[in-house]
Amino acid sequence: MHNPQLNKDGELTHLLSIEGLPQRILTQILDTAASFMEVSARDVKKVPLLRGKSVFNLFFENSTRTRTTFEIAAKRLSADVINLDINKSSASKGETLLDTIDNLCAMHANLFVVRHASSGAPYLIAEHLRNIGRDDVHVVNAGDGRHAHPTQGLLDMYTIRHYKKNFSQLRVAIVGDILHSRVARSDIHALTTLGVPEVRAIGPETLLPKHLDKLGVHVFHDMNEGLKDVDVVIMLRLQNERMTGALLPSAGEYFRHYGLTPQKLALAKPDAIVMHPGPMNRGVEIHSAVADGGQAVILPQVTFGIAVRMAVMSIVAGN
Amino acid sequence: MSPLPNPLPDAEAQCRQLADLIRPQLHHSPALIGIYSGGAWIAERLKELLGLPEDIGLIDVSFYRDDFAEKGLHPQVKPTVIPFDVEGRHLILVDDVLYTGRTTRAALNELFDYGRPASVTLAVLADRGGRELPIGATWCVWNVDLSDGENLVLGRQDDGQLAWRLENA
Amino acid sequence: MNIEIRNGRVIDPKNSVDRSSSLYVAEGRVAGLGEVPEGFVVDQTIDAAGCIVCPGLIDLGARLNSIEAELAAAVAGGVTSLVVPPDADPPLDEPELADRLVHRGAEIGKARVLPLGALTLGLNGERLSELAGLKKAGCVAFSQANRAVVDTEALLRAMEYATTFGFAIWLQPQDHWLSRNGIAHEGEVSSRLGLAGIPVAAETIAIATIVQLVRDTGCRVHLTRISSAAGIALIQRAHHDGLPITCDIGVHHLLLTENDIGYFDPHARFSPPLRAQNDRLALSDAAATGVAAICSDHTPVGADDKLLPFGEAKAGATGLEVLLPLTLKWAEAEHVDLPTALARITSAPAEVLGLAGGHLAPGAAADICVFDPQAHWQLTPESLQSRGKNSPWLGYMMTGKVKATLVGGRLVYSA
Is some CB atom of chain B closer than 8 A to the CB atom of A49? yes
* 8 Å CB contact of C187 and A211: yes
Q: What is the DSSP code string of C353-403? A: HT-S-SS-STTSB--EEEEEEEEEEE--GGG--SS----TTTT-EEEEEEE
Q: Give CA–CA dist C290/C346, Å, rounded.
A: 12
Shared domain check, A254 and A240 = yes
* pLDDT of A251: 79
Asked whether residue A233 falls in the same domain as residue A259, the answer is yes
Q: Note the pLDDT tens digit of each residue in C168-217.
A: 999 999 999 999 999 999 999 999 999 999 999 999 999 999 999 999 99
**Residue B99 one-letter amino acid:** Y
Question: Nearest Cα to C6, choosing from C40, C45, C56?
Answer: C45
Among candidates C377, C367, C363, which has minimal Cα distance to C415? Answer: C377
Q: Is C151 a catalytic residue?
A: no
A18 belongs to a structural domain = no
Asked if residue A48 belongs to a domain, the reply is: yes
Residue of A nearest to B68 (CA): A318
* Mutation for testing the A interface, residue in B61, B62, B65, B77 having most A CBs under 10 Å: B77
d(CA B25, CA B67): 34
pLDDT score at A89: 47
Same domain, A167 and A222: yes
**Residues C21, C339: Cα–Cα separation, whole Å:** 15
Partner residue opposite C263 with nearest CB, options A123, A128, A145: A123
Is there a domain that residue A5 lies in?
A: no
B1 has pLDDT over 80: no
* CA distance linking residue C326 with residue C393, whole number of Å: 10
CA A146 to CA A105: how far, in whole Å? 27
Write phi, then psi, for C271 (nearest 5 degrees): -125, 115
The residue segments making up the domain with residue A284 are 151-301
CATH number of residue A60's parent domain: 3.40.50.1370
- Residue A303's pLDDT is what? 95
Q: How many domains does chain A have?
A: 2
A175-234 residues touching C, CB cutoff 8 A = 182, 185, 209-212, 214-215
pLDDT at residue C66, rounded to an integer: 92
pLDDT of residue A8: 87
Residues of B whose CB is below 8 A from A315? 72-73
Interstrand relation of C220-223 and C245-250 (parallel, antiparallel or unpaired)? parallel
Q: What is the mean pLDDT of residues A248-252?
A: 79
For residue B60, list chain A residues with Cβ-Cβ distance below 8 A. Answer: 35
The answer to whether the CB atoms of A116 and C309 lie below 8 A apart is yes
User: Which chain A residues touch B115 with a CB distance below 8 Å?
Assistant: 43
* Bridge pairing between strands C17-26 and C29-33: antiparallel
Rounded Cα distance between A278 and C115, Å, is: 55
Say what the pLDDT of residue A1 is: 59
With a cut of 50, say whether residue B116 has pLDDT above it: yes
Residue B61, pLDDT above cutoff 70: yes
Q: Measured between CB atoms, which of A4, A124, A244 is closest to C309?
A: A124
Listed by start position, the domains of chain B span 11-168
Report whether A193 contacts A29 (CB < 8 A): no
Work out the pLDDT band at A88, boundaries 50, 70, 90. low
* The one-letter amino acid at C217: T
Choose among A31, A35, A318: nearest Cβ to B72.
A318
Per residue, the 3-state secondary structure of chain A, as one string, reads CCCCCECCCCCECCECCCCCCCHHHHHHHHHHHHHHHHHHHCCCCCCCCCCCCEEEEEECCCCHHHHHHHHHHHHHCCCEEEEEECCHHHHHCCCCHHHHHHHHHHCCCCEEEEEECCCCHHHHHHHHHHHCCCCCCEEEEEEECCCECHHHHHHHHHHHHHHHCCHHHCEEEEECCCCCCHHHHHHHHHHHHCCCCEEEEECCHHHCCCCHHHHCCEEECCHHHHCCCCCEEEECCCCHHHCCCCCCCCHHHHHHHHCECHHHHCCCCCCCEEECCCCCCECCCECHHHHCCCCECHHHHHHHHHHHHHHHHHHHHCC
Domain contains A66:
yes
- Chain C and chain A touch, per 3+ beta carbon pairs within 8 A: yes
The reply to whether B133 touches chain A by the CB within 8 Å rule is no
Whether residues C181 and A245 touch (CB distance < 8 A) is answered with: yes
Q: In 10 A of CB B157, how many CB atoms?
A: 8
- DSSP secondary structure letter of residue C204: H
* SS3 category, C243: coil
pLDDT of residue C151: 92
Average pLDDT (A235-252) is: 73
Distances (CA, A) of C33 to C11, C38, C366, C369: 11, 12, 12, 15
Nearest to C192 by CA among A186, A176, A173: A186
Distance between CA atoms of residues A18 and C264, nearest Å: 15
Contact A120/C310, CB-based, under 8 Å?
yes
Distance from CA of B62 to the nearest CA of A (A): 9
Same domain, A145 and A155: no
Least confident span in A6-10, A92-96, A195-199: A92-96
Instruction: Specify whether A217 is located in the same domain as A115.
Output: no
For residue B73, give the nearest of A32, A43, A46 by CB distance.
A32
Question: Both A233 and A111 in a single domain?
Answer: no
DSSP state of B3: P
Per-residue pLDDT tens over the stretch A190-233: 999 999 999 999 999 999 998 898 889 999 999 999 999 999 99
pLDDT tens column, A132-191: 999 999 999 999 999 999 999 999 999 999 999 999 999 999 999 999 999 999 999 999
pLDDT at C410: 96
What SS3 state is found at C332? helix
Q: Which fold has domain B11-168?
A: Rossmann fold (3.40.50)
pLDDT at A92: 54
Residue B92 CA: distances (Å) to CA of A217, B21, B78, B108: 53, 13, 20, 11
Who among A4, A119, A245 is closest to C310 (CB)? A119
Query: CA of A293, closest CA in chain C: separation in Å?
Result: 33
CB C85 within 8 A of CB C116: yes
Which position among C93, C175, C297, C372 bears the catalytic label?
Answer: C297
Helix (H) or strand (E) holding C55: strand C52-55
Question: Measured between CB atoms, does A1 come within 8 Å of chain B?
Answer: no
| Nearest of C25, C45, C44, C21 to residue C34 by alpha carbon | C21
| A-chain residues near B111 (CB < 8 A) | none
- Mean pLDDT, rounded, for A36-64: 92
In this prediction, the residues of chain C whose per-residue pLDDT falls under 50 are none
Chains that touch B (3 or more CB pairs under 8 A): A
Domain identity same for A213 and A283: yes
CB contact under 8 A, C264 and A210: no
Contact by Cβ (8 Å): C379, C391:
yes
Distance separating alpha carbons of residues A191 and C189, to the nearest angstrom: 19
A87 shares a domain with A158? no
Flag if C191 and A245 touch (Cβ within 8 Å): no
Cβ atoms of residues C391 and C318 within 8 Å: yes
How far is the CA of C122 from the CAs of A151, C89, C128, C129, in angstroms?
Answer: 47, 10, 10, 9
Q: What is the pLDDT of residue A242?
A: 45
What pLDDT is attached to residue B5? 83
* Contact indicator for C147, C87 with CB cutoff of 8 Å: yes
Would A14 be classed as within a structural domain? Answer: no
Residue A205 lies in a domain: yes
Note whether A214 contacts B: Cβ–Cβ < 8 A. Answer: no
Task: Find the angle CA(A71)-CA(A77)-CA(A79) to the nearest 5 degrees.
Answer: 65
Touch between B and C (at least 3 CB pairs under 8 Å): no
CB-nearest to B77 from A11, A32, A319 is A32
Contacts of B73 in chain A (CB under 8 A): 32, 49, 314-315, 318
- Assess contact for C80 and C113: CB atoms under 8 A: no
Cβ of A75: how many Cβ atoms within 10 Å?
A: 16
Contact status, residue A120 vs residue C269, Cβ threshold 8 Å? no
Shared-domain flag, residues A140 and A169: no
Whether residues A131 and A166 share a domain: the answer is no
Q: What is the pLDDT of residue B69?
A: 85
Q: How far B73 CA sits from the closest chain A CA (Å)?
A: 6
Q: What is the DSSP string of C75-142?
A: HHTTEEEEEEPS-SSS-S-SHHHHHHHHHHHHHHTSSEEEEEEESBGGG-SSSB--HHHHHHTT--EE
CB contact under 8 A, A147 and C195: yes
Using an 8 Å CB-CB cutoff, list chain B residues near A11: 72
Contacts of C304 in chain A (CB under 8 A): 96
Task: Say which residues have a Cβ less than 8 Å from residue A235's Cβ, sequence separation at least 6.
Answer: A175, A176, A260, A274, A275, A276, A280, A285, A286
> CA-CA distance, C367 to C363, in Å (whole number)?
11
Tell me the C-alpha distance between C255 and C190, whole Å.
Answer: 19
Task: Name every residue whose Cβ is closer than 8 Å to that of residue C35 and which is 6 or more positions away in sequence.
Answer: none
Question: Furthest-apart CA pair in chain C: how many Å?
Answer: 69
Q: Are A47 and B73 a contacting pair at CB < 8 A?
A: no
Indicate the residue of A123, A145, A210 with minimum beta-carbon distance to C191: A210
Pairing of strands C17-26, C3-12: antiparallel
Cβ separation C195–A119 shorter than 8 A: yes
- In chain C, which residues have their Cβ closer than 8 Å to the Cβ of A145? 194-195, 309, 311
Note whether A42 and A103 are same-domain residues: yes
Q: How confident is the model at residue B27 (pLDDT cuts 50, 70, 90)?
A: confident
How far is it, in rounded angstroms, from Cα B163 to Cα B154?
A: 6
Contact B113 A44 (CB under 8 A): yes
Specify the pLDDT at position A91. 54
Other CB atoms within 10 Å distance of the CB of residue C307: 19
Residues making up chain C, counted from first to last: 415
Over residues A165-177, the pLDDT tens digits come to 999 999 999 999 9
Query: For residue A279, is the peptide bond before it cis, meaning its omega torsion is within 30 degrees of 0?
Result: yes
A250 part of a folded domain: yes
Task: Clarify whether residues A117 and A215 are in a common domain.
Answer: no
Do the Cβ atoms of A96 and C188 come within 8 Å? no
